[in-house]
């Protein structure tokens, strides 16, 4: 049976969400309050799957403008173990992160590690990619792990189908995701914790509607769109967003999982979404792909060998204030660790500034003007296919 509204409602002083502004186009700004601080929305969450945003100190993540990060229950269960983390005071203390934390349940690993797992109604039986041991990740186990971690927002265990998949496969995933969500809701949680449902349905509008309606009936604290950014064309992703947004409770946070590039964030905000996460800013930093206000810089290219300019003349990040493209290229070509760190800090700063600008544009009721300016000043928009990464 689904959890009752009373059981899912957090007590006063714990988590809350309030929409503060909505533009004529549907973009909205709000405030998500947690026991570990307030998050102004729309917001982007850097990915720290294993309890760290790769290559940077938690204080640097905060300095880049982020108030919440994402960690992964699956990876932390395997190493170092949720019970160990709980004994250390929970994930916030363990990693010395003073903001909020959202934990993903591990459902996406069904796709990314499909050759190592089997899905049944009980849950996901999988072989560890670390040591080969077999484990069962049930909805109840996923919640147990996330409760022990002490995250502010926990994601239900969902059945995320591969892409492409048939209508029948997507429909089975929708039904199982709803059944698993009901089981997740029965697990006792800490008073500060919220639980979000995950909408599935592939690229089939009728299944997305069905999943949205079934999860909305469970009166969850927030709702995420899962099973996107798996290789589908962007118009299909945007269609799925538009299909479900109007069916979601307007007073609950809306979260697009695993997305994305800067233009994806702009388009997601335009369609009324509040939360985003992706490995792109950190992973691309490690591969020398740097984001700027006019497009991208591939720092390994020979054109930058003697370039004295910063990555982005319009950027106020500590990297652009001190280092040249020539130096950053030297570090990257030399495979120096400092280069990876500086690239990551710059990309995180860029994403932090982008989200701050999007929030301000909503507050000032000039979102559509900002959207035009965003595209107008870019030399090129990436044509890279969208794909959701497994861990960062």
- Enumerate the active-site residues: 104, 277
Cis peptide before 306 (omega within 30 of 0): no
Written as six digits, the tokens of 26 are: 């549907």
Q: Would you say 1 and 182 are in contact if contact means Cβ atoms under 8 Å apart?
A: yes
Q: How far apart are CA 49 and CA 109, in angstroms?
A: 12
Q: Which long-range contacts (CB under 8 A, 24 or more apart) does 87-94 make?
A: 90/148, 90/149, 90/150, 91/51, 91/149, 91/150, 91/151, 92/36, 92/150, 94/51
Beta bridge partners, 72, equal 104
Alpha helices in 217-322 (DSSP H): 234-245, 262-270, 280-286
Q: How far apart are CA 95 and CA 147, in angstroms?
A: 16
| Ramachandran assignment for 173, one of left (phi > 0), alpha (psi -120 to 50 degrees), beta (any other) | alpha
Residues in the chain: 392
**CA dist 312 → 44, 320, 346, 350 (Å):** 21, 7, 9, 10
Handedness of CA 235, 236, 242, 245 (dihedral sign): negative
| Ramachandran assignment for 373, one of left (phi > 0), alpha (psi -120 to 50 degrees), beta (any other) | alpha
The residues, ordered by sequence, that sit 6+ positions from 112 with a Cβ below 8 Å of its Cβ are 390
**CA dist 284 → 297, 341, 343, 346, 348 (Å):** 11, 12, 8, 11, 10
Written as six digits, the tokens of 13 are: 């002083």
> Of the candidates 383, 373, 386, which has an alpha carbon nearest to the alpha carbon of residue 294?
373
């Amino acid at each position: 049976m689904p959890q009752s509204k009373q059981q899912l409602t957090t007590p006063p002083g714990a988590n809350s969400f309030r929409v503060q502004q909505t533009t004529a186009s549907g973009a909205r700004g709000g405030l998500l309050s947690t026991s570990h601080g307030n998050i102004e929305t729309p917001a982007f969450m850097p990915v720290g799957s294993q309890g760290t945003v790769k290559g940077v100190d938690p204080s640097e993540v905060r300095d880049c403008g982020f108030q919440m990060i994402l960690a992964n229950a699956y990876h932390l269960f395997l190493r170092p173990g949720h019970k160990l983390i709980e004994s250390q005071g929970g994930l916030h203390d363990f990693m010395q992160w003073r903001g909020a934390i959202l934990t993903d349940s591990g459902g996406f690993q069904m796709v990314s590690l499909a050759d190592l797992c089997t899905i049944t109604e009980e849950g996901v039986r999988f072989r560890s990619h670390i040591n080969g041991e077999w484990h069962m990740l049930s909805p109840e186990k996923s919640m147990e792990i996330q409760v022990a971690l002490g995250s502010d927002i926990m994601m239900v265990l969902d059945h995320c189908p591969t892409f492409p998949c048939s209508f029948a496969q997507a429909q089975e995933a929708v039904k199982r995701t709803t059944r698993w969500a009901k089981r997740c809701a029965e697990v006792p949680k800490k008073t500060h914790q919220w639980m979000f449902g995950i909408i599935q349905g592939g690229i089939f509008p009728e299944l997305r509607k069905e999943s949205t309606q079934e999860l909305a009936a469970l009166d969850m604290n927030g709702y995420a769109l899962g099973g996107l950014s798996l290789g589908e064309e962007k118009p299909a992703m945007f269609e799925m967003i538009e299909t479900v947004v109007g069916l979601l409770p307007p007073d609950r946070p809306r979260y697009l999982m695993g997305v994305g590039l800067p233009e994806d964030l702009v388009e997601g905000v335009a369609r009324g979404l509040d939360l985003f996460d992706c490995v792109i800013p950190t992973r691309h930093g490690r591969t020398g792909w740097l984001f700027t206000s006019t497009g991208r810089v591939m720092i390994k290219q020979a054109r930058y060998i003697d370039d004295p300019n910063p990555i982005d003349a319009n950027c106020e990040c500590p990297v652009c204030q001190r280092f040249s493209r020539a130096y950053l290229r030297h570090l990257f070509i030399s495979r120096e660790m400092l280069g990876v760190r500086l690239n990551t800090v710059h990309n995180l700063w860029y994403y932090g500034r982008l989200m701050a600008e999007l929030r301000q544009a909503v507050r000032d009721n000039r979102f559509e003007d900002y959207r035009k300016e965003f595209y107008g000043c870019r030399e090129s928009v990436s044509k890279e296919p969208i794909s959701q990464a497994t861990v960062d």
